[in-house]
């Protein structure tokens, strides 16, 4: 312990700020995961089987189109704010404008498709409509990006907990009053309305800035839009991969199979929260370190990859080994067939642990557009495997159809000269033991 205290004292101000920031995130993520787990397992028991899957299907359907509303610009926006902080009002205003316009377009597309092509029931269509409206309010996420660029995540924690507590109290009200799935969808929308109000308040109160000072710069809008085009195609493939298995299972299996599968998805997806402890804290510092020296930049990159490898190791392995107990304790023996699905599906989390630092590295090297090829391979191979294997092998191969393409797609980067060196660097760096060597040096 004394060794780590001495190392902390010898760190420069930048890394100390990063570690302080990660403490806030760790507190935020751990408590939220546990509380969410409690509430969601209660909801699963209350709504099972069909109504809970109607809600999860609506979420999956809406999230596939999130690429339009989000624009996949968060990492690029953070980089611009770090590099050109003096233009923050123009950057934030321009990105907000882009997100707002495309959010409205996304809502229209989602609801047209839901009603005319994928109509199943009035409740499902209404649920999709209500949930899709959150796109408008998620545009205020640009304020969050400002604080990320400043490595000040304590404000994110304050904002998150403000709506998180209200959200979970309202979900408990649904359970105690035996309300329907439409009310649960309304709470999802209310979450983001509260979230946007809190962010506006924090931006004004603590950062001493006003959203009315934002301005739209046509050159920045054009630049961001051009940089978005290749990322848009990449994000289409990304969200197809993330949610298409659930949509295909809904259309190819009975309601019993779909809620068995959804339990494994919920547990696996909840682990992804822990990765957000690392990258929002370290990415701005990673951008800044490139200006200091190549040696500092490469050393921090190795630490970046190593931290992700430690996280996935300590998340995936325990869940794999304890999946029987997790399912039986949280969801009772009604979900016992979800155990084998969870044992397979949880390994897809590793692909995310690899993709996040890889993509941030590629953003910093300005070659992120090549991620289109990797994620597209991931998505389409997943669709093909689901189409042919689900009718024959059902749930087990539905999980395999998510996990196997994830690892296959990574090797796509070897075929391009500009990304080959990044991929090889990852192979050498994605090792927890490297972190032990790094902590003996001043970061």
Q: Which helix (H) or strand (E) holds 5?
A: helix 2-10
The mean pLDDT value for 392-421 works out to 82
Q: Is the pLDDT confidence value at 41 over 90?
A: no
Helix-strand-coil percent breakdown of the chain, rounded to 5? Answer: 85, 0, 15
Contact between residue 345 and residue 403 where contact means Cβ atoms under 8 Å apart: yes
Which is more confident, 130 or 274?
Answer: 130
DSSP letter at 416 equals S
CB atoms under 10 Å from CB of 235, counted, come to 21
Averaged pLDDT, 184-213: 87
List of long-range contacts for 249-257, beta carbons under 8 Å, 24+ apart: 249/386, 249/390, 249/395, 249/398, 250/53, 250/57, 252/390, 252/391, 253/390, 253/394, 253/395, 255/49, 255/50, 255/53, 256/49, 257/394, 257/395
Q: How does pLDDT run across 99-128, given as a tens digit for each residue?
A: 898 889 889 988 998 888 777 778 888 989
List pLDDT tens digits, range 271-298: 776 776 666 667 777 777 877 788 888 8
The pLDDT of residue 214 is above 90: yes
CA pair distance 78, 340, nearest whole angstrom: 40
**Alpha carbon 415 to chain centroid, angstroms:** 27
> pLDDT tens-digit profile of 141-154?
899 888 888 767 67
More confident residue, 59 or 7: 59
pLDDT confidence bin for 231, thresholds 50/70/90: low
Q: Is 122 exposed, middle or buried (0-12, 13-18, 19+ CB in 10 A)?
A: exposed
The domain limits of the chain are: 2-438
Torsion of CA 231, 66, 43, 195, to 10 degrees: 100
| Tokens, residue 443 | 């970061």
| Secondary structure (DSSP) of 219-236 | HHHHHHHHHHHHHHHHHH
**Looking at the predicted structure, is the pLDDT value of residue 400 above 90?**
no
**Per-residue pLDDT at 95 exceeds 50:** yes
Place of tokens 């507590």: 165
pLDDT above 90 coverage of the chain, percent? 5
Mean pLDDT of 82-95: 88
User: Residue 133's pLDDT is what?
Assistant: 92
224 near 98, Cβ under 8 Å? yes
Q: Closest by alpha carbon to 79, among 425, 362, 296?
A: 362
Q: Which residues of 27-41 are buried (b: 16+ CB within 10 A; e: fewer)?
A: ebbeebeeebeebbb
What is the rounded average pLDDT of the residues 146-172? 79
Taking the C-alpha atoms of residue 137 and residue 100, their distance in angstroms, rounded to an integer, is 9
Instruction: Go through the chain and tell me how many residues it has.
Output: 443
Residue carrying the six token digits 């997943």: 382
Give the pLDDT confidence score for residue 129 in this predicted structure: 92
179: left (phi over 0), alpha (psi -120 to 50) or beta: beta
Percent of the chain with pLDDT over 70: 78
Number of H helices, E strands in the chain: 22, 0
**pLDDT per position as a tens digit, 350-368:** 877 777 788 778 878 878 7
Please give the structure tokens belonging to residue 173: 């009200």
Distance from C-alpha of 399 to C-alpha of 379, rounded to nearest angstrom: 14
């Amino acid at each position: 312990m004394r060794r780590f205290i001495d190392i902390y004292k010898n760190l420069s101000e930048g890394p100390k700020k990063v570690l302080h920031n990660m403490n806030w995130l760790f507190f935020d993520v751990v408590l939220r995961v546990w509380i969410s787990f409690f509430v969601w397992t209660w909801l699963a028991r209350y709504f099972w089987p069909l109504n809970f899957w109607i809600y999860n299907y609506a979420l999956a359907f809406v999230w596939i189109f999130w690429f339009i509303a989000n624009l996949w610009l968060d990492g690029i926006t953070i980089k611009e704010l770090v590099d050109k902080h003096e233009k923050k009002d123009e950057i934030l205003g321009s990105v907000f404008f882009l997100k707002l316009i495309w959010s409205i377009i996304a809502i229209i597309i989602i609801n047209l498709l839901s009603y005319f092509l994928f109509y199943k029931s009035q409740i499902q269509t209404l649920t999709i409509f209500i949930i899709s409206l959150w796109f408008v309010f998620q545009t205020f996420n640009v304020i969050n990006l400002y604080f990320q660029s400043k490595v000040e995540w304590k404000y994110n924690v304050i904002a998150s907990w403000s709506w998180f507590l209200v959200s979970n109290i309202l979900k408990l009200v649904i359970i105690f009053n035996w309300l329907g799935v439409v009310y649960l969808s309304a709470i999802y929308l209310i979450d983001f309305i509260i979230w946007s109000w809190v962010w506006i308040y924090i931006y004004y109160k603590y950062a001493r800035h006003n959203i009315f000072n934002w301005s739209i710069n046509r050159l920045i809008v054009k630049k961001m839009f051009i940089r978005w085009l290749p990322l848009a195609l990449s994000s289409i493939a990304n969200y197809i991969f993330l949610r298409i298995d659930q949509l295909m299972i809904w259309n190819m299996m009975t309601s019993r199979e779909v809620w068995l599968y959804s339990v494994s998805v919920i547990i696996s997806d909840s682990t992804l929260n822990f990765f957000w402890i690392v990258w929002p804290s370290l990415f701005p510092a990673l951008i800044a370190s490139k200006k200091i020296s190549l040696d500092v930049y490469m050393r921090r990159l190795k630490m970046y990859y190593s931290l992700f490898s430690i996280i996935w190791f300590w998340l995936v392995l325990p869940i794999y080994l304890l999946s029987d107990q997790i399912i039986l304790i949280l969801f009772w023996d009604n979900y016992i067939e979800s155990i084998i699905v969870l044992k397979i599906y949880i390994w897809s989390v590793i692909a995310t642990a690899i993709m996040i630092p890889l993509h941030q590295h590629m953003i910093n090297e300005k070659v992120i557009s090549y991620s289109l090829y990797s994620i597209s391979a991931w998505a389409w191979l997943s669709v093909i495997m689901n189409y042919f294997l689900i009718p024959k092998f059902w749930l087990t191969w539905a999980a395999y159809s998510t996990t196997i393409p994830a690892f296959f797609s990574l090797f796509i980067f070897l075929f391009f000269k500009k990304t080959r060196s990044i991929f090889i660097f990852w192979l050498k760096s994605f090792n927890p033991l490297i972190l032990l060597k790094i902590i003996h040096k001043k970061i």
